[in-house]
Each structure stands twice: as structure tokens, then as C-alpha cells.
């Protein structure tokens, strides 16, 4: 087995959050999952602009949250008419999104910082 030469005393825990702001995000992966109340899209985005290119942001969008589905579809340039949308049409699309610093409580009750997509913007 190879040896990894790293001084773990110099490695910080976790990662830095993206600063609150508006970002161009590429849909780098998208999965449809089934939750307790409805299906949802589990989306991984990659930052496409500025000095934070390559950083990741994640969002889950419930199929019950019509307004957010419409926002992301419009931001991706998809038709938002009566016909709905195919989730695969979002793959590799670039959307503009307002990203905020947020937090959640993990299973042990610790508050953990995270980024959240507040909303998707269209031109």
C-alpha cells in the first residue's frame, strides 16, 4: 500500500463556505430521489465564474415546491409552460443562483454551517 506523506496537524477541518452572493452554477449532477412526502431532485452544482470556479454547492428541490422548480427551469432557459419539464434537460445547464450562508442541526444536535441556494434568478 502506498504511504501518503501529509502532516495532518496542518490540515484544517471541513471546508470554507462560499460567501453570500450571486453565482453562475453548472448542474454537474442530478438525481431524482423519493422522500417521505414526495420525489425531489438532489442537485450538485459547480461554480462557473470568479475566483471560486470549481467549488461545489448542493440543493434539494421537492417536486411539491412548484415555485422553485419554475425558478430553476427559467434560469436554465427551459420552457416553463403547461407541459412540465424533463429533469435530464437540466443536466450541464448553467443557472444563476443566490447562494447564502446557512446552517443545519446534525444528528448529534450540533449546528453545522452550510451554503443554501436561496433562489434561482433569470435574466
Per-residue pLDDT band at 14 (split at 50, 70, 90): low
Rounded CA gap, 121 and 11, in Å? 36
The better pLDDT of the pair 13, 53 is held by 53
The C-alpha cell at 105 is 442541526
Residue 12, pLDDT above cutoff 70: no
Domains and CATH numbers, the chain: 15-121 (2.40.50)
Q: Which of 1-10, 47-56, 80-89 has the lowest mean pLDDT?
A: 1-10
Amino acid at each position: 500500500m502506498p504511504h501518503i506523506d501529509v502532516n495532518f496537524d496542518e490540515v484544517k477541518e471541513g471546508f470554507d463556505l462560499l460567501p453570500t452572493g450571486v453565482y453562475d452554477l453548472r448542474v454537474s449532477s442530478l438525481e431524482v430521489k423519493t422522500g417521505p412526502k414526495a420525489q425531489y431532485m438532489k442537485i450538485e452544482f459547480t461554480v462557473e465564474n470568479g475566483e471560486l470556479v470549481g467549488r461545489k454547492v448542493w440543493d434539494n428541490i421537492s417536486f411539491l415546491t412548484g415555485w422553485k422548480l419554475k425558478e430553476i427551469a427559467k434560469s436554465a432557459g427551459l420552457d416553463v409552460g403547461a407541459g412540465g419539464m424533463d429533469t435530464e434537460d437540466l443536466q450541464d445547464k448553467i443557472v444563476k443562483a443566490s447562494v447564502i450562508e446557512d446552517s443545519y442541526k446534525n444528528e448529534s444536535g450540533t449546528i453545522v454551517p452550510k451554503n443554501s441556494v436561496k433562489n434561482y434568478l433569470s435574466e
